[in-house]
Amino acid sequence: MKTQINCILIIAIFLLNSCSEQHKKTNQDMFMKFEEFRNKDKFIPDDNLFYPGIAYPELKPILSKKINLAADDFEKLAAKGATNKEYQQAIKEGLMRFSDIYIELDTEDRDRVCSYFEELMDIVGLESSGGYLNKFAYGFDFLIAH
């Protein structure tokens, strides 16, 4: 009987240890993905998304900086184990950073901004933006009802 209990305890410890290792690895992978996201060239033509590239090239560094700030926000939230609502709030606040140049963005550029947010959502496993991406892309009172 004592041998069986010892075996069960050893198996339980092994399982708990392997689960915690996998969790740590997932977080490291997540943070590597944030870094890769920040480092990649943004607003360039993408045939997979039918994106022709930024309409006004002078906006590229401004837009890239705003998107990278959103990545920073998501990374901070991921580090603390945020809820879906907290990520959705970060999306809302991240999109508000574009309010000063929103009018200068054409439809394709707004859609591309949203696709970058979707990439961030994929990194953390968030399935819904809470409607903020649609509001931003299609202008449903985005600048008024925030």
Q: Quick check: 120 and 133 in contact, CB under 8 A? A: no
Question: What pLDDT, in 10s, does the model give residues 122-142?
Answer: 999 999 999 999 999 987 654
Question: What pLDDT, in 10s, does the model give residues 36-66?
Answer: 999 999 999 999 989 999 999 999 999 999 9
Angstrom distance (rounded) from CA 99 to CA 9: 57
Of 95, 99, 106, 104, residue with least CA distance to 132: 95
Angstrom distance (rounded) from CA 17 to CA 40: 35
Q: Which domains does the chain have, with CATH numbers?
A: 26-138 (1.20.1480.40)
**Which is it for the CA torsion 135, 136, 138, 139, positive or negative?**
positive
Q: Which pTM was predicted?
A: 0.78
Burial string for 46-66 (b: 16+ CB within 10 Å, else e) reads eeeeebeebeeeebbebbbeb
Residue of higher predicted confidence among 3 and 13? 3
